[in-house]
Amino acid sequence: MIIDMPDTTTNDVNKRLVRLRDEGGAVALGRVLTLVVLADEGDVEESVEAANDASREHPCRVIVVAPASGSDEGRVDAQIRVGGDAGASEVVVLRASGALLERADTLVMPLLLPDAPIVAWWPREAPAVPSQDPVGAMATRRIIDSTVAKDPSGMLKNLAGAYAPGDTDLAWARVTLWRALIAAAVDQPPFEPVLGVTVEGQKRHTSLDLLAAWLGARLNCPAEVVRTESDDAITRVTLQRRSGPIVLDRPDGRTVTITQPGKPARRIALPIRALNEALIEELRRLDPDEIFEETLIRGLGTLTTRTAA
C-alpha cells in the first residue's frame, strides 16, 4: 500500500504511521533499527528496493530523504509505503526543498524508532565528513558507496582522512567473500610468508583498493593495485610466495579459479555482489569495524597502483 501526503509535516506523517499500526496495516514491533537513506532523486527507487530486500533479514523502518524537484520553497511531500510495497519494513519517502533539506536531521527526528540504532546511508555522493553531517552525527553506523561516486578513489581517500568509528563503505562488504577465500588459501601448507600481493580489476572499482590494503596490512607485505578496462570488478588476486604464487582468477565475474603449487585447481562460484547483498552484509553489525579501520587508515596509504597497458 502506498499513501501520498503532499505538502505535509513529519509530525503528520508520524501520526499517520501510528494510525496504520493501530488499524493493523503495519506493525512496528520487532524493528531492529532505523535506516535513513540520504539519496538523490534518481537513486530513490533503487535504494528503496535494496532497503526492502535488506529489511527481510534486518526488519527496520526506512526513511528516505531526497530533494524535491522544481521547488525552492520549504515544503515536504511524503509517501508512506507499507505491506507488499515495503518488504519487512515501513518505508517513508520525504521529498524536501529549501532549508528543510539542509537540516535533514530535523525532518527525520519525529520518525525515528525509539530505542533503536540509527544507520545513515548515502547511496551515491557522501558528505566530506560523514560523522559531522547532521544525520550522520545521530547515527551509529554511516554507510557510503564509493564505487558509484563521481570520484571513487577520491571519496575513499577522503573517508580515510575523516574516518570516525562507525563509518563504512559498501565496497568493503563486496570483498567479504574474497577475504574468506584468500584466508582459506593462505592457511594451507606450505606455511610461508606472502612476499607481495597484486589485485587486478575494473579501474573505478574501489573494492580493489580495499582488498589490496587489507592484504598488505594483515600480511605485512607490499600490495599493488592494477587497474584494467574490465567490467567485472575484481578479476584476479595474486599472492607471491617462495614456493610459487597463489592465484585467484575470476575473469567472468561469476566463478573464481584458485591455483597454487602442488594442488589441483579449484573452481568456486563467486558472483559480483549486488547492491542489496552488500547492504545486507553491512547491516549485520552495528558496532565499529576495527578491521575496516585498520585497512582504511594503515593499509590504504601503502598501496602502489598502476594501469594495465
Cβ proximity of 280 and 53 under 8 Å: yes
**% of the chain residues with pLDDT over 70:** 95
pLDDT above 50 (res 28): no
Alpha carbon distance 211, 215 (integer Å): 6
Query: So what's the pLDDT on residue 21?
Result: 78
Q: Which of 123, 100, 260, 88 is nearest to 188 (CA)?
A: 260
Cα distances from 190 to residues 181, 239, 246, in angstroms, run: 17, 13, 11
Alpha carbon distance 138, 130 (integer Å): 11
Angle between helices 207-219 and 152-161 in degrees, nearest 10:
40
pLDDT band at 101 (very low <50, low <70, confident <90, very high): confident
Average pLDDT, the chain: 91
pLDDT above 80 (res 40): yes
pLDDT band at 71 (very low <50, low <70, confident <90, very high): low
For residue 116, the SS3 value is: coil
Cell of 9: 509535516
pLDDT above 70 (res 261): yes
Cα distances from 270 to residues 113, 178, 254, 281, 285, in angstroms, run: 36, 8, 5, 15, 22
Q: What is the pLDDT of residues 156-179, one digit of tens each?
A: 999 999 999 999 999 999 999 999
Cβ proximity of 32 and 89 under 8 Å: no
| pTM for the whole structure | 0.93
Query: So what's the pLDDT on residue 19?
Result: 87
Query: So what's the pLDDT on residue 277?
Result: 96
SS3 content of the chain, % helix, strand, coil (to 5): 35, 25, 35
Q: Position 179: which residue type?
A: R
Cβ proximity of 186 and 239 under 8 Å: yes
Task: Please give the residue that has the higher pLDDT: either 233 or 98.
Answer: 233
For residues 37-41, average pLDDT: 94
